[in-house]
Amino acid sequence: MDQHLYKYLVLHKALYIPQLGSFTIENVPARYDDITGLLHSPRPVTRFTEGDSPVSQKPLIDFLANEMNVDDDTASKELAHFAKRSHEQLSEEGSFTWKDVGTITKETNGSASFKATHDLSELMPPLKQGEELILVLKGAGDADLEEAVDPDAPKDQWWYYALILLILGAGALLFYYN
């Protein structure tokens, strides 16, 4: 059930689990830090909101039934079982960990806090202004290729010569047939 709910969350960017709350995936835009001079890449962030949601569960039930190859009633029961199990674990142990998504922890004041499993900023580290950008290209069976992108490098202008040859060829054809 966990993997099906995670797939639904990734595909639809929103998921409401009864008795637990709503998960959403938001895109945080790229930002430039004036103080450090770092350019931070855009990244998706998973957020959790505790409480009920007026969202219809029909699309989720249909999705789960299709993914698990069961009828809608069975999918609904599986979702209810997952929701009950996660709510009980959160109530009894004070935290609930959902693999690949994150951990919900009950605070002393009764509210819930959420810590995402993955921090995607590790995958795309920030760039410092003025640094050379290095691209690493990997192919199946090919050796790693590293190429520094230099903005001052001369541009490849082979197409100028091809255009000149095309014009000369067209001129020769016109001259020959006239």
Q: What is the pLDDT of residues 28-84, one digit of tens each?
A: 888 888 888 777 778 888 888 887 777 778 888 888 888 888 898 888 898 888 888
Local confidence band at 139 (pLDDT 50, 70, 90 cut-offs)? very low
For residue 127, the model assigns a pLDDT of 66
| pTM, entire model | 0.60
Structure tokens at 102: 């994150």
Do residues 98 and 88 make contact, with C-beta atoms less than 8 angstroms apart?
no
Q: Burial code of 40-76, b = ≥16 C-beta within 10 A, e = fewer?
A: beebeebebeeeeeeeebeebbebbbeeeeeeeeebb
**Structure tokens given for 120:** 């995607």
Confidence of residue 167 (pLDDT cuts 50, 70, 90): very high
Q: What is the pLDDT of residue 126?
A: 67
* Sheet (strand 14-17) strand order: 14-17, 21-28, 43-50
More confident residue, 143 or 62: 62
The Cα–Cα gap between 12 and 1 comes to 16
Residues 74 and 19: their CA atoms lie apart, in Å, by 19
The span from the CA of 31 to the CA of 39, in Å, is 6
Rounded distance between C-alpha atoms, residue 6 and residue 101, angstroms: 7
